[in-house]
Amino acid sequence: MIIAPKAVIERKISSAPGGESHEMGFDREGIAGTSSGLASVLETARKVSKSDSSVLITGESGTGKELIARAIHKNSSRCNGPMVVINCGAIPSELLESELFGHEKGAFTGAHRSRIGRFEIADQGTIFLDEIGDMSPDLQVKLLRAIQERQFERVGGTATIEVDIRVISATNKDLAAAIEQDKFREDLYYRLNVIPIHILPLRERKEDILVLAEYFQERLTKRGRGYQVKTFSEDAIQALLNYDWPGNIRELENLIERVSVLVEDPLIEVHDLPDYFISGSSRNTLVSVSSVFNNRTGFNEAVDQFQRSLILHALNETRWVKARAAELLKMNRTTLVEKIKKMDIEQESQVPIF
């Protein structure tokens, strides 16, 4: 059992992944977390799973885009059909067309026999077009037609093939910017983005961190092989909460596995975590508006914490030389000193957690 702040434990109650959750009629399929950001993603996923509309899932790498796509498929009327995943960024563009639509024998050098593509395999099911932002403009035109008309031809073929599929796509790129730069077709974007789902990065839904850490530990223990649920010390918990998780949930999942294997003691301490968990904390001193709303921090508290963050950041940047910190903040040195005193900021002060 992880030591978690009381508020986190209380909010955890309805978080159990797998099985029906409070989102009536929607099986979470191993999606853990209690943040309001995740709840609204699950609510949209629940609604969209009842339909056949195209869904575009956006979010940084490792935020759970594929997991959500799978949950939508599993909860849809297509659940007995296939869910076919294709990573558009991982396949060279000259091969991608044949991967998507198949090819006829002799269509190109090396095409010794005809082969069906992922669109045909996905018939009666869902096709998940991952990293859609990496698709070449030529292929985007063909994809648009296939999605619009639910029909296409194999490479080198003349027969038109019809399929019954639901399209879910995902990207960690900013497609609006790609459209501006003429790298992504606007018409395809609107076709794919009928229902947008944006998954927040983990640093903007910090209340999910401990819930996920516990979930991953328990999942490892269920696998057997000698994993045991361990406890995090208060300092280690603070470090997990302060860290900004550039690799998001995948990074947290890997970390939990690593400490589960490498730390033999039942208590995981802060020095058991990688060094950058401690040294990188100054990157977290500035807070985002969405994290304030996600964590339901009130206005006054958020403003206080923001002031505290700014002051701590400036002090850390200037090795606690107050005159220089005041310069950096463009404020009077005496005002800074007063604030430091009033806010009880000391050299080892914690950065406020959002």
The residue ranges that bind ligand ATP (CB under 6 A) are 17, 30-33, 59, 61-67, 172, 212, 249-250, 253
Q: Least distance from C-beta 252 to ligand ATP, angstroms?
A: 8
Minimal CB distance residue for ligand ATP: 64
DSSP 269-324: -GGGS-THHHHGGGGG-S--HHHHHHTT--HHHHHHHHHHHHHHHHHHHTTT-HHH
Judged by beta carbon distances under 5 to 8 A according to partner kind, the member of Mg ion, ligand ATP, none in contact with residue 32 is: ligand ATP
Q: Least distance from C-beta 273 to Mg ion, angstroms?
A: 26
Integer Cα distance of 253 and 217 in angstroms: 9
52 or 66: CB nearest Mg ion: 66
66 or 317: CB nearest Mg ion: 66
Integer Cα distance of 180 and 13 in angstroms: 44
61 or 193: CB nearest ligand ATP: 61
30 or 157: CB nearest ligand ATP: 30
86 or 325: CB nearest ligand ATP: 86
Closest CA to 39 of 205, 223, 242, 238: 205
Closest CA to 68 of 106, 37, 99, 98: 37
Q: How many helices (H) and strands (E) does the chain have?
A: 16, 9
Q: Least distance from C-beta 171 to ligand ATP, angstroms?
A: 8
- Secondary structure of residue 199 in the 3-state scheme: coil
Containing H/E element for 326? helix 322-328
- Residues lying near Mg ion in the complex (CB under 5 A): 66
Judged by beta carbon distances under 5 to 8 A according to partner kind, the member of ligand ATP, Mg ion, none in contact with residue 74 is: none
Looking at residue 173, what DSSP letter applies?
Answer: S
Q: Least distance from C-beta 200 to ligand ATP, angstroms?
A: 11
Minimal CB distance residue for Mg ion: 66
Q: Least distance from C-beta 324 to ligand ATP, angstroms?
A: 40
Q: Which residue has the tokens 């943040």?
A: 35
Q: Least distance from C-beta 322 to ligand ATP, angstroms?
A: 43
